[in-house]
Structure 1
Amino acid sequence: MASKDELFKTGEPGVFYREHPTRKHGVKKDRQWVVVQVLAGKRRVSTLGWWSQEVTLGDALNRAAEYRNNHKWNLENPDQPPRPICKQDEDDAAELKRQEIERARREQEHRNITFGEYFTTRYLPLQFDHGKKSAAKEEQLYRLHIAPILAKFSFAEIMPLHIEKIGKSMKDKGLSPKTIAYAYAVIRQAWNLANNDDVTDRQHPTRKVKKPKLNNKRERFISEEEETILLEALKKRSMTTHDMAIMSLDTGARWGELAALTWQNVDLEACTARLMDTKAGDNRTIHTTTARVKEMLDRRKTTAKSPFVFPALGGEMQKQTNVVFSRVVTDLGLNDGITDPRQKVCFHTLRHTFASRLAMAGVPLYTIARAMGHHTIAMTERYAHLAPDVLRDAMVHLEKQPAAAAKVVNLDDRR
């Protein structure tokens, strides 16, 4: 803005001009029009355009009159948005309008983002940043099964039929209902995040798709003979995998729980280990009381160079299931001829074997549930059929006490 000394009077109240030092308009120096007014108790200087830009004295007079009229209107309408009373007000209003248009454009662009762009640039990086254990699995599910169908569509375009198409494709590839349901869950999680980010206000389409019927409960457990040959083969290939197998067989710990187990959570004297942040979302204590587990932990402790009990080769925590176990199972032919995944031997079979052996030994289901870290007894009931003699023994005991049986019958008769 110009100071008052730089301005020349036009002879019209409140309207001035300044001259360009070199540029001319016709025979005269080019002029820039300036309106100076005191409105709302404040001196307001409005620098307008140049003569050479076809801004005339008449234009400056009209603008000065407009500012005065707007000031009067503002006083008469205090409850309405104020009108501009100087060039700065106009510039501010124009900037707000520009920002509003830009914001609307970005919002539209934001809402037009494809599912693929959003998943790969927002959702997936967030899972890795938060250290989510399943992030790599979710990336694989997206890349192999979700992306081929959803990646190119915006959130406004995706319909339940697209989700059904993903499910059918995965089923045709022989994938389990649990894996298909997992893919649906990943889509739902990404969609819910998009809701929070205001990318879409639609509910996720998976809610309108029938969930695949899940029955992935493993029925397979290994016999003592299979255990012997399996452990011998593992010992030859990887002592760490061998020791993890022993720990799982005798405590029911999952592979991921063992991979994350640190020495600070192992009490060799009390024969306990504390599993942190388990799959169930809590912490639980396991008892390392069998002779072979105690011997194995003592041996590993004496040579430990890592905070992890079962570290990777570099001493860090193992990130994915060691392929040694799968290769040994294949070499031994433990899964030969088996097509049902519930009947195949995998590392999780060792946890199932632990629970199955407790059930066959007559250990109550409630105790097994506690040992396994199950939140409900329903999760443990799959092992009930392994202890059929318990109920038969109870019936025999009842038969030996006819008087007690008669009382039961009499009580029933009175109802």
Structure 2
Amino acid sequence: MARVKSKKYAGVYLNKLTDGDITYSINYKDAENKKTWFTVGKKSSGITEIYAYNKRNEFINKIKLGEEPPAVLKRKKKDIVSLDSVALEHYQLKENHNRNNKLSKRKYEMHVSPILGKKDIKSITVEDTQKLQALKLKEFAPKTVNTILGELSVIFNYAIDKNIIVQNPLKKLRSLKVDNVRERYLSKEEISILLDYAKTDEQLHIFTLLALTTGARVGAICKITPRDINFEAKTISVLDEKNNEKYTAFLGSDELEELLKNRVQKLKIDTAVLKENEANLYDQIKLKARTILDKLFNNEDIDSKHKVVIHTLRHTFASHLAINGTPIFTIQKLLNHKDIRMTLRYAKLAPDTGRDSILKLGF
């Protein structure tokens, strides 16, 4: 049966149920002047018309004072679906079907969750995503920011499929223009300066040597354990999270080998080599490395293409291989690139420009 307006009390409505009970509801205008309904309760629970009327007056007075009625606030909390809860459900569903799921989940947890994770997904606006984009752009390259927002967009689309939201707020946000060619790599002189500074912190020193002599990414280096190091063969088994597979890197530095031998003696076989305390190792290394790189090589006016970032260490590894005449397919293997086009950017640094081959023609 439809609601029937109370004959005695303004804004109070009665709804007779099929079992003979009566439900009392009230309506009022909220802080945004919108007509709002609230179900107070049933007659069988002790609710009366006068009680419902008094509850309506309580709500109206709270709103006049700029407060949210407690009963409404409690009901709203029940209806909130946080972005984190949707993301968790999304990643759990993908767990057995997507090899990059762990990497995607970590990206969300690091970059999106601390800022938007607790918000009701239904309340997240285009402006919220714009603020996230601007915030991340202060710290990362446009390509990385686009990847972070792309991960968020996937979660929004999942929420749409589950009828939690009706539209993706990122649809109205423009992707950042990307120049994929990062030209900067460290010279031998700059490498010496960096290593001298890093020596004051053993953890940072080992990380820097690993990055420069293996070309491995930060996440991969943070996962290296004593089990992965073969001192006899002078190799390191590295997990490429991007492709979710292991590949072989080499211990090409006597200094690094000595540091690692001393360090692994104190560790369990499955403990990360760089682990020192309970802090998140990945975040700890990134902060230390970013701080020293900014101090030594970057100024406020430097553009992104020439800024020295942590990934520059991987770029430096590959660039010096090319400069030393290493075949491009060998560089591809050492970087674990799946697509040779990713490696070909280093070909221009190779010393063999083709001049000698042309001269040998003898024409």
Interval of TM-score (by shorter of Structure 1 and Structure 2):
0.5 to 0.7
SS at match of 1:275: strand
Check if 1:396 corresponds to 2:356: yes
Check if 1:289 corresponds to 2:252: yes
How many residue pairs align between the two structures? 281
User: Which one of 176, 189, 194 corresponds to residue 159 of structure 2?
Assistant: 194
User: Which one of 162, 177, 182 corresponds to residue 142 of structure 2?
Assistant: 177
Distance 2:226 2:216 in 1: 16
Matches within 5 A, 1:160-175: 162=126, 166-167=129-130, 170-171=133-134, 175=138
CA distances 1:218-245 after superposition (whole Å, capped 9, x unpaired): 3221122222222121111x20110111
- 2:211 maps to 248
- 1:327 maps to 291
Amino acid at match of 1:192: N
Q: Kindly tell me: are residues 190 and 281 of structure 1, through their superposed partners in 2, closer, same or farther at Cα, counting changes over 3 Å?
A: same
- 2:108 maps to 138
- 1:262 maps to 225
Give yes or no for contact 1:259–1:308 (8 Å, CA) kept in 2: no
Amino acid at match of 1:324: K
Distance 1:194 1:215 in 2: 32
Distance 1:316 1:171 in 2: 27
Give yes or no for contact 2:84–2:113 (8 Å, CA) kept in 1: no
Check if 1:312 corresponds to 2:257: no
Deviation at 1:124, TM superposition (A): 4.5
Matches within 5 A, 1:344-359: 344-359=307-322
CA distances 1:185-232 after superposition (whole Å, capped 9, x unpaired): 1332212322453435x6756567654332244322112222222212
Distance 2:111 2:221 in 1: 25
CA distances 1:109-165 after superposition (whole Å, capped 9, x unpaired): 9xxx77xx34132214765997945546535644687689x957469xx7xxx38x8
Q: Kindly tell me: are residues 384 and 252 of structure 1, through their superposed partners in 2, closer, same or farther at Cα, counting changes over 3 Å?
A: same
Give yes or no for contact 1:250–1:293 (8 Å, CA) kept in 2: no
Distance 1:172 1:311 in 2: 29
CA distances 1:249-307 after superposition (whole Å, capped 9, x unpaired): 11111121111011112211111111125223222111223333333332323343563
Matches within 5 A, 1:3-402: 117-124=81-88, 127=91, 132-133=102-103, 135=105, 137-139=107-109, 141-142=111-112, 153=122, 162=126, 166-167=129-130, 170-171=133-134, 175=138, 176-199=141-164, 204=168, 206=170, 211-236=175-200, 238-305=201-268, 307-314=270-277, 318-322=281-285, 323-331=287-295, 333-387=296-350, 389-391=351-353, 394-402=354-362
SS at match of 1:380: helix
Give yes or no for contact 1:145–1:166 (8 Å, CA) kept in 2: no
SS at match of 2:243: coil
The answer to which structure, 1 or 2, has the higher relative contact order (CA under 8 A, 6+ apart) is 2
Moved more, 239-248 or 294-303: 294-303
Unaligned ranges ≥5, structure 2: 1-18, 21-74, 96-100
Distance 2:132 2:261 in 1: 50
Paired-residue identity, %: 27
Distance 2:174 2:294 in 1: 36
Give yes or no for contact 1:251–1:354 (8 Å, CA) kept in 2: yes
SS at match of 1:221: coil
Unaligned ranges ≥5, structure 1: 1-48, 54-108, 406-415
RMSD value over aligned CA atoms?
Answer: 3.9
Structure whose alpha-carbon radius of gyration is higher: 1
Moved more, 306-315 or 263-272: 306-315
Q: Kindly tell me: are residues 321 and 372 of structure 1, through their superposed partners in 2, closer, same or farther at Cα, counting changes over 3 Å?
A: farther
Amino acid at match of 2:247: R
Amino acid at match of 1:293: L
Distance 2:132 2:268 in 1: 47
| TM-score, normalised via structure 1 length | 0.56
Distance 2:273 2:117 in 1: 36
Give yes or no for contact 1:167–1:180 (8 Å, CA) kept in 2: no
